[in-house]
Amino acid sequence: MRGRDPDRITRSEAPRTTRKGALVRLRFTRFAFGALVTLFAARAVAENVAPDDATPAAAAVTPPRLLSSSAAVVPEGTHPTEPVTVVLSLGIDAEGQVSEATVVTSGGAEFDQSALTAVKGFRFEPARRGDAPVAVVIGYRYVFPAEIAPIPSVPPAPVPSTESTSAAEPMPAPPSAKAGGEPEEFSGSATIEAPAREVTRRTVSGEMLTEMPGTRGDPVRAIEVMPGVGRTSLNNGDPILRGASPNESQTFLNGAPVPFLYHFGGLTSFFSARYLDRVDLYPGNFSTRYGRVSGGVLDLHTKDPRSDGFHAGLDLSLIDSSAFASSNLGSQGSVGVAARRSNIDLVFSKFVPKNSYSVVAAPLYYDYQAIAAYHLNARNTARVIGYGSRDSVQLFFADPNDEDPSLKGKIGGTIEFHRVQLELESKLGDSTTQTTSATFGRLLASQQIGDLEQVIEGNELHARSEWRSELTTGLSATLGGDLFSWFMKGRYHGPAPGQFEGNPSDNEPNSTRRDISIEDSHLNIVRPGAYLEFGVRPAARVLLVPGVRFDYYGDLRKFSLDPRFTARYEVRPGFTLKSGIGYYTQAPEYYQALSGIGNPNIEPYRALQTSFGFDEQAGHAFKFGAEGFYKRLENRIVGTPDGVAPHFINDGDGRIYGAELSAEYHGHSGTFAYLAYTLSRSERRDGNAGYRLFDHDEPHVLSSAVSQPLGRGWLVGARFRLISGDPSTRVVGSVYDARTGVYLPKYGPINGDRDPTFSQLDVRVEKTWHLGPVSLAAYVDVLNAYDAKNPQGYRYSFDYSQKQPVADLGLFPNLGLKGEL
């Protein structure tokens, strides 16, 4: 949530870099060209266009676009208790370089110098009049926040501009303006974000959201390059964070939990990158504002649509096609929509072999987003966000599957959710902010495999409300509450659900398993939570963040209390030691507590998480870090032997430990590079058995990525990953089940073997053309460029006497074209 998050005020498009824990973010505000021309009498200055030929009133001017920035830091030794504002005037030449920078409104000599130093490293795509690049002048306003004061949750008052039709004073004419050749003027503002309060937060934003090679522009996939993120298996994109099971981590969108992160195939997440500002990854030791999970958190933050007029675009690729449009909403708001649809169904039928199955409905997914933001006044901003996603497939097998005869007839399913999220951010006084949101939605998840059926549908309501206040110098507080609630009905007919991790028999033929049937028309789950967190500065360079979270599980009539503590010590500017410890309670899956298939007396379990490390910001562009972690799972939920009642019990535990190293580079020209290595071990223990490896234990995870603009609109990038293979359980024999006519496997030690090492190189090449107000780009994202086979387990013959490796996605070039107005 914006008001709570210490790292941001506005949602903008600029990339972020960090120094001394402070972050810079830029926001452009586009102004009407007619007003600009009237007030500044600007004319284009272009290389190939003589002044006499310039017709500024005739050709549209595209404002400059920030490619890279460098962080402005809070000056050493200063600890502002109130926000400090510095307004600059920047000349941007036709090459996109900052040709000059002057202070228009001073915030004090030290802050002025910090801002001037930072802007020298800014790199822009130059403004254009039609096709021709032109020099322009822009206004920038930096806001250095009070060090522990909550960041004002509303954007600062608009910079006076020539666009505005209000009575605001225009920007003073820049000193560099020359008669007969004054450049266009635009305005923007930048906000320095407060120092971090978490032990570890890793953020994907800016060009990394959409230009990370190997992700097809999917912003969530971009986290795969970060330390602590394991590789997910084929078709399952849910992230593995520091050795935690996928269900032990949660993805949020603006603080509301997301039910399904990826469309089927695991290639595309449900939310368009167009309206995502950043993705925050908390691999562990996260804040008390997140609860009910024991692993990690992924928080997606939306951004407001552009308010500088109408924009639209298309993106067509082999896998899916998308479109977006946005516009300003008066002078105080903006609105935008986006939609995406898969293309698989257009060609699917052509690849269906004869006499195999009938396609009732080919695999299809789509998603959509609509965002409207409006600044009600200087202290209040309201947002309405609508979004939804749908995946469906329906096949018909006239003949039973040869490997499992229970697979026959209709096989398919639908997963969809549709939501509306209302948000209000308010500044209550000078030192208190409030954010409130409510998400209403409809969810349907149905699956049918022959006679086996699972359906759950109904309504969901999630809410969050939070207050942040600076109580006194050196002490701030955050108080909040959230709600997770489901009002569903469902039915199930199929094998009794078992323990889904560390249970190879969960994948045995359905025909050998005993079916159960349940139906529940009142599957109501209400889980409220509350949290309190303090920010304490006993010394200038020390930040202590103690907090506590309370959760009540209405469906279980159980509660949990999770104390958490984070400490940060800035040893010297740019170098920070950090540590954290805390409890993180995990809510059971809903079916684990359902009478008939689960245990109504099951309890939530929890993890004790600890971590210690450092962050180093070396210069403007480099950042390094290292962190060690240890987690202990207590009272973990496991399945009963043979799945007999009560089916699930709290009789397991686990331990996870490791270290992460990371290095990050963000260059002036839009270059970014990332290198991460994680060494870890993740183990589980079921009942009285000894420790075994977790299903996705990956001792070594090496990830690297680089992206480099080459000029003339060319962009190239590559990503390479080298990851230990996942553990696997060897099949050591089989038994013929004469009643059903299929074989049952006999297993060796659970997760006693390991798949081969995974390696993959992804390459991305993009070429962009600017045709007046339109930009066109062609790209190719080659996944698995050298076609590594990367076996992920085996497929067995009917009697398990033969096996064949199951390969991951082979070489796959995704070609695409996109255009934007």
Partner 1 sequence: MTRLHSLLLVGLALLGCEDPLQSVSSIQGPRLLGVRVSVAGDAKRGTPAPGESATAEFLLATKDGDPSVSFALEACTTTQSYSGIAECLATPFATALQASPIPGRAAFPFAVPADLGVNSGLRGLIRGVICANSELSGADSAAPHCADGQNGELSFDFEFGAAGSATANSNPELVSDALSLDGNPWLAATAGATETCPSSLLEVHAGSSHQLSVRLRDSDFEPLTQLSPEDPTRETLLVSHFSSAGTLGHAFSWLTAASPALTATMPWDAPKTVSGTQLIHFYFVARDSRGGQDFAERALCLVP
CA–CA distance, 138 with 310 (Å, rounded to integer): 21
Is 646 a binder of partner 1 (CB under 8 A)?
A: no
CA distance 134 to 59: 12
Return d(Cα 285, Cα 661) in angstroms, integer: 17
- Listed ranges 73-81, 201-209, 270-278, 354-362: which one lies at the site for partner 1 (CB under 8 A): 354-362
When binding is defined by CB under 8 A, the residue of 350, 642, 688, 690 that contacts partner 1 is: 642
Nearer to partner 1, 359 or 544 (CB): 359
Give dist(CA 699, CA 98) in Å, integer: 46
Among residue numbers 513 through 542, which ones bind partner 1 (CB under 8 A)?
Answer: 513-514, 516-517
CB closer to partner 1 out of 235 and 757: 235
CB of 789 to partner 1, least distance (A): 14
Nearer to partner 1 among residue 447 and residue 650 (C-beta): 447
Position among 100, 131, 737, 787 found at the interface with partner 1 (CB under 8 A): 737
Report the site for partner 1 in 23-62 (rule: CB under 8 A): none
Query: Contact between 804 and partner 1 (CB under 8 A)?
Result: yes
Q: Which of residues 78, 105, 447, 768 is near partner 1 by CB under 8 A? A: 447
Rounded CA separation 310/333 (Å):
13
The residue within the footprint of partner 1, chosen from 154, 300, 319, 496 (CB under 8 A), is 496
Per CB under 8 A, does 349 bind partner 1?
A: no
Give the Cα separation of 138 and 87 in Å (integer): 11
Examine residue 787 and tell whether it contacts partner 1 (CB under 8 A).
no
802 in contact with partner 1 (CB under 8 A):
yes
Identify residue 571 by its one-letter amino acid code: V
Rounded Cα gap, residues 323 and 310, in angstroms:
14
**Per CB under 8 A, does 795 bind partner 1?**
yes
603-622 b/e (C-beta count within 10 Å ≥ 16 → b): bbbbbbbbbbbebebeebbb
**Binding flag, residue 443, partner 1 (CB under 8 A):** no
Residue spans of beta strands (DSSP E) within 589-693: 605-618, 622-639, 648-666, 672-686, 692-693
Q: How many residues bind partner 1 (CB under 8 A)?
A: 69
Comparing CB distances to partner 1, the nearer of 246 and 547 is: 246
Within 8 A by CB and 6+ apart from 412, the residues are 360, 361, 392, 393, 394, 395, 447, 448
Q: How far is the CB of 737 from partner 1 (least distance, A)?
A: 5
3-state secondary structure of 219: coil
Residue type, 642: D
Residue 542: closest CA among 513, 566, 512, 516: 566
* The one segment of 39-47, 233-241, 546-554, 649-657 that binds partner 1 by CB under 8 A: 233-241
463 binds partner 1 (CB under 8 A): no
- Per DSSP, what are the bridge partners of residue 299? 252, 280
> Which range of residues in 222-230, 325-333, 442-450, 661-669 is near partner 1 by CB under 8 A?
442-450
Angle formed at CA 95 by CA 94 and CA 98, multiple of 5 degrees: 90
Our finding on whether 643 is near partner 1 (CB under 8 A) is yes
Q: Which is nearer to partner 1, 397 or 550 (CB)?
A: 397
Cβ–Cβ < 8 Å for 134, 82: no
Q: What does DSSP say about strands 311-317 and 297-302: parallel, antiparallel, or unpaired?
A: unpaired
Q: Find, among 710, 527, 560, the residue nearest to 635 by Cα.
A: 560
Task: Please say which residue, 24 or 523, places its beta carbon nearer to partner 1.
Answer: 523
* 413 belongs to the binding site for partner 1 (CB under 8 A): yes
What is the DSSP code string of 119-164?
Answer: HTT-EEEPEEETTEEE-EEEEEEEEEPPSSSPPPSSPPPPPP-SS-
Binding piece for partner 1, criterion CB under 8 A, among 29-37, 277-285, 428-436, 638-646: 638-646
The 380-409 site mask, x for binding partner 1 (CB under 8 A), equals: -----------x-x-x---xxxxx-x-xx-
Q: Which of 257, 265, 748, 752 binds partner 1 (CB under 8 A)?
A: 265
Least CB distance to partner 1 at residue 281 (A): 21
Q: Cβ–Cβ contacts within 10 Å for residue 820, how many?
A: 16
Closer CB to partner 1, 54 or 407, in the complex: 407
Residue 239 makes contact with partner 1 by CB under 8 A: no
Distance from the Cα of residue 347 to its chain's centroid: 31
Q: Which of 73, 223, 229, 449 binds partner 1 (CB under 8 A)?
A: 449
Comparison of 400 and 819: residue with beta carbon closer to partner 1? 400
Nearer to partner 1, 603 or 737 (CB): 737
Least distance (Å) between residue 25 CB and partner 1: 36
Neighbouring residues of 736: CB distance < 8 A, sequence distance ≥ 6: 742, 743, 744, 799
Residue 42 CA from chain centroid, whole number? 41
Looking at beta carbons only, is 362 or 716 nearer to partner 1?
362
- Is the Cβ of residue 400 or residue 773 nearer to partner 1 in the bound state? 400
> What minimum distance in Å lies between the beta carbon of 735 and partner 1?
4
Q: Judged by CB under 8 A, does residue 157 bind partner 1?
A: no
In the bound state with partner 1, the residue whose beta carbon lies nearer, of 72 and 240, is 240
Cα–Cα distance between 107 and 85 in angstroms, integer? 5
Query: How far is C-alpha 137 from the geometric centre of its chain's CA atoms?
Result: 34
Task: Check if the beta carbon of residue 121 is closer than 8 Å to that of residue 669.
Answer: no
| Region from 105-113, 412-420, 621-629, 686-694 binding partner 1, contact rule CB under 8 A | 412-420
Distance CA 815, CA 216 (A): 10
For residue 25, CA distances in Å to 85, 122, 274, 293 come to 14, 12, 17, 31
Q: Is 411 in the site for partner 1 (CB under 8 A)?
A: yes
Query: What φ, ψ does residue 443 adopt, rounded to 5°?
Result: -130, 140
The dihedrals phi and psi of 287, each to the nearest 5 degrees, come to -70, 165
The site for partner 1 (CB under 8 A) is made up of 234-236, 238, 260, 264-265, 351-353, 355-357, 363, 391, 393, 395, 399-403, 405, 407-408, 411-413, 415, 445, 447, 449, 493, 495-496, 498, 505-508, 512-514, 516-517, 642-644, 733-741, 744, 746, 795-799, 801-804, 806
